[in-house]
Amino acid sequence: MQQHSTYAPDQPLSRLCNKRILLGITGGIAAYKAAELVRELRKAKAEVRVVMTAAAQEFITPLTLQALSGNPVHYSMLDPEAEAGMGHIELARWADIILVAPASADFIARLTQGMGNDLLTTLCLASDAPLAICPAMNQAMWRDEMTQANIQRLVDFKGKKLHYFGPADGEQACGDVGPGRMIEPRLIAEHCATLFTSQSLSGLDVVITAGPTREAIDPVRFISNHSSGKMGYALAEAARDAGARVTIITGPVRLSAPDKIKVIQVDSASDMLNASIEAQAQCDVFIAAAAVADYRPIQVAQQKIKKSGEQMQISLIKNPDIVATIAQLIDKPFVVGFAAETQDVATYARGKLTSKNLDMIIANDVSNTDIGFNSDSNSVTVFWDESEQEFPRMSKSALATDLIDLIAYQYTATQTNIDNNEQ
């Protein structure tokens, strides 16, 4: 009988527990969403203190946010009560992260210029905590060259301490359609959670495959698939943040190389296999997130094939199964596979788990166009032994963090069993 796992991985927001979040609210219609954001953060057991600009108070009252956060709302540099209590410098020191949502074009411009002409900009300048900004403005304002230049300057100034969440595309309050909407509060909270890590893979070597492969037909044509590599790259970053030394073996993708991660670029399935065999020799955990082409042409034309007639036939041969090859090695690492299915997901996933000798398999339904390939969100079910764990739809970065924790948990359990059996 199939059983559900007794392991309960971190929920998407659990890493916010006991974290000190300083929420800055600037003027804009999206300020009304700050109330729901405070609720999400508090639900995750984070401690929240709110700072509002004068313009923000035109859209939502301090009293509302005080009631939701359970703390006084700060809005004046010269507030005698605040200065007699925590004080603006102590407030800056208190924060584990400063989250500005919504962040208006005006706020971004003033911060870029180093202005401390209100409490919120002063706190941003006075704090060493990471700064997360959720832009929210009219689509034309977002696209304006000055706004984009200000954002780039902030990135240059703040480096790794700066994080941008959004903006989203869609219909705006003014009636325009385009980029500039503040992303939803739940997603903002999830993004914040990913900034806090568990170090669950500390000291381990992790190899991850990502993206599609290209199987050449001739010098200009190839067979491939719709994989963007986003899930594999998110897993690589989550594993790195969990303390692992990470190598990512990637097919052709339009993603920037992650910081502090060794990147091996390949093209075909054969190239990925060779790189995987070499890399796994020194790895503890192997995660096969790449969407490898199942077949390749038997022969690759040396010159471009010319059009001749209405039909063209290409004979294909099966590609090597990379994850199965790694899992069959005598001294194999802990191997995690992926199953992208369009029907009977659980049945096919469990079949692959057994037939390929995997330790775990992560399955998702790619027939749902809202998740999976090229999407920024995903929903999966993980299978191992007689257990399974479902993960609801969330951002791929948040999902990657939870998956890495589960993989680390199972890896540790497996190593413990091996050690016990050897004694």
List the beta strands (DSSP E) in 251-321: 262-265, 285-288, 295-297, 316-318
Residues 135 and 103: their CA atoms lie apart, in Å, by 5
Q: Which of 17, 124, 134, 174 is catalytic?
A: 174
Tell me the C-alpha to C-alpha distance, in Å, between residue 339 and each of 148, 307, 358.
39, 36, 12
**Run of H or E residues at 230:** helix 230-241
Q: How far apart are CA 300 and CA 314, in angstroms?
A: 10
Which residue type occupies 113? Answer: Q
Contact between residue 286 and residue 276 where contact means Cβ atoms under 8 Å apart: yes
Residue 316 φ then ψ, to 5°: -115, 155
For the chain, give me the number of helices (H) and strands (E)? Answer: 14, 19
Active-site residue, 283 included: no
The Cα-based distances of 207 to 26, 57, 288, 335 in angstroms read: 42, 49, 8, 10
Q: CA 312, 316, 320: angle at the middle one, nearest 5?
A: 155
Helix/strand/coil percent split, the chain, to 5: 35, 25, 40
Q: How many CB atoms lie within 10 A of CB 422?
A: 6
CA distance 379 to 366: 10
> Phi first, then psi: what are they for 172, rounded to 5°?
-110, 165
Distance of CA 84 to the CA centre of its chain: 41
Cα three-residue angle 321-324-325, rounded to 5 degrees: 80
Residues recognised as catalytic: 174
